[in-house]
Structure 1
Amino acid sequence: MKTRFAAGSAAVLLAGLALGGCVTEPSTFYTLSSTLPAAEKSAAPIPEQNLAVGIGPVRFPAFLDRPQIVARTADNQLRVDEFHRWGGSLEDDFLRVLSENLGQLLGTSRILVEPAEVRFPLDFRVVADVLKFEGTPNGDAVFKVRWGVLDAYMQQALVIREDTYRSRAANSEPRAMVAALSETLSTFSRDIAEQLRGLPKTRAATTPSEPPQQSDRKRSDRK
């Protein structure tokens, strides 16, 4: 009798575990998107401008470097949502949309996202440290960033700024927060484009990682 009871209990336990596994909530995946209107092109489409812009490095804090969507619930507390995730890497998605936005705003296809195998002479390089890119308890999407524009050789900072962008989510759903984050990225893109339009070109003769004058100088010093 004892053996029969034990076997029956084990069967019930296994059935319960199997049933519990069947009701696991499926994950939902999200991507950022460009929210610029299709008609929003370069405000000053000068043919000879045709800017070539490099993007990167762009650094994210470690707490955002994860597949789960992160929201802030208090100053020192985060919520990591296991069932609402980025469709890929947040950093890659961020760079993809930023490059798409800048290409549209500046009227150019010469946007290079680092690291990249394709190389061409650049006029400027945009670098950034993302400090916040998250939802807040009051329903805002907040994007705080320190960023700058460097010359083609990355030897001189032409613009240095720190900005905070906010956008109200339409509702409490994660997809609404992702849409609001996309809107903050569009506003950031507009600010970058405005700065780039007002700067004189600094285009390098070769790839920006190998400025010829500096390389020749180093060779001369070795001799």
Structure 2
Amino acid sequence: MRFPRFRLLVLLAALSLLGACSFRPTTTLYRLDGGDPAIPERNGMAVLLGPVTLADYLRQDTLLVQRHEDGSLSTARNARWAGDLKADIDQLLLRQLAWRLDSHRLVPEPGAPGFKPDVQVQLNITRLDSGPKQPAVLEAQWRLLDRQGRLRESRLIRLEESHQNSSADQVRAQSVVLQRLAEQLAAAIQPLAKQQTSAPAPEPRKTARAAAPKVEKKPPQVPDIPIVSPTRDVEVFRF
């Protein structure tokens, strides 16, 4: 009778395991919405995007971070990012900037061999989160460098977007603030594009040097040689 009991125990264990799995909540995967940017039509200015850095709490794992009213953070139980969050942010910004600047010449950091950017965008995202009762908030700082590596602009920015509390709408709101970030970045880059494409100012003409006064050449002086005059009253003797 031992074998029937053993089989019964195995069957009960299998049924309990299947029951536990059936009640386990499913996890939903999300990706950022990059909007519907148009494909650029020309080779505009060359832009190097990066490095783009994220705050440490955004690089821990792929879980969707939730912010609460007291400022504490937690992770959503049933919501995850479908992939690497930083890679999604890079692609969203790259496509948005290419569309708004109308240029194919946008390359993510570290760039490509021989690629010489007109502008480099350095971006540090210090906050990107939301919560059931907290709006989506983006806090970041960007730095724009010109072709010579000189700092042309540095700006701190904070953007907010409300949502309907669900995880799906929170992801939508976070996508919106990132798209607005790309819009403001493009507006800051465009004046630099005009400076890069403008013709260089003509060099001032060199003033001609004042002509030296002409010095009249004097004829060579003839040395004063005494002239021998014929002598008079000279007697000539002949032999």
Per the shorter chain, which TM-score range? 0.7 to 0.9
CA contact (8 A) 1:36 1:186 kept: no
Residue 83 of structure 1 is matched in structure 2 by 78
Distance in structure 2 (CA, Å) of the matches to 1:173 and 1:115: 37
Residue 17 of structure 1 is matched in structure 2 by 17
After superposition, the Cα gap between the structure-2 partners of 1:195 and 1:16, relative to the gap in structure 1 and judged at 3 Å, is same
Bigger Rg over Cα: 2
Distance in structure 1 (CA, Å) of the matches to 2:50 and 2:70: 29
- Alignment TM-score, normalising by the size of structure 2: 0.70
CA contact (8 A) 1:53 1:122 kept: yes
2:56 counterpart (50, 54, 62)? 62
Residue 96 of structure 1 is matched in structure 2 by 91
After superposition, the Cα gap between the structure-2 partners of 1:166 and 1:76, relative to the gap in structure 1 and judged at 3 Å, is closer
Indicate the SS of the match to 2:29: strand
Deviation at 1:9, TM superposition (A): 5.4
Measured against aligned partners, the alpha-carbon deviations of 1:183-216 in whole angstroms (never above 9, x if no partner) come to 11111111111111112229xxxxxxxxxxxxxx
1:122 counterpart (114, 117, 120)? 117
Residues 25-44 of structure 1: matches in 2 within 5 Å? 25-35=25-35
Distance in structure 2 (CA, Å) of the matches to 1:108 and 1:90: 25
CA contact (8 A) 2:69 2:134 kept: no
After superposition, the Cα gap between the structure-2 partners of 1:75 and 1:127, relative to the gap in structure 1 and judged at 3 Å, is farther
Distance in structure 2 (CA, Å) of the matches to 1:106 and 1:8: 70
2:165 counterpart (168, 172, 194)? 172
1:194 aligns with 2:190: no
Residues 115-154 of structure 1: matches in 2 within 5 Å? 115-117=110-112, 119-153=114-148
Distance in structure 2 (CA, Å) of the matches to 1:187 and 1:151: 23
Distance in structure 1 (CA, Å) of the matches to 2:114 and 2:86: 21
CA contact (8 A) 1:136 1:142 kept: no
Residue 108 of structure 1 is matched in structure 2 by 103
1:50 aligns with 2:44: yes
Deviation at 1:182, TM superposition (A): 1.1
CA contact (8 A) 1:124 1:201 kept: no
Deviation at 1:97, TM superposition (A): 0.6
Aligned residues, how many? Answer: 194
Measured against aligned partners, the alpha-carbon deviations of 1:53-76 in whole angstroms (never above 9, x if no partner) come to 111111111211121111211444
Identity of aligned residues (%): 23
Indicate the SS of the match to 1:125: strand
**5+ residue gaps, structure 1:** 203-223
Indicate the SS of the match to 2:45: coil
CA contact (8 A) 1:141 1:177 kept: yes
Distance in structure 2 (CA, Å) of the matches to 1:118 and 1:23: 53
RMSD: 2.9
- Alignment TM-score, normalising by the size of structure 1: 0.75
What amino acid is aligned across from residue 107 of structure 1 in structure 2?
D
1:185 counterpart (154, 178, 185)? 178
What amino acid is aligned across from residue 89 of structure 2 in structure 1?
F
CA contact (8 A) 2:131 2:165 kept: no
Distance in structure 1 (CA, Å) of the matches to 2:85 and 2:70: 22
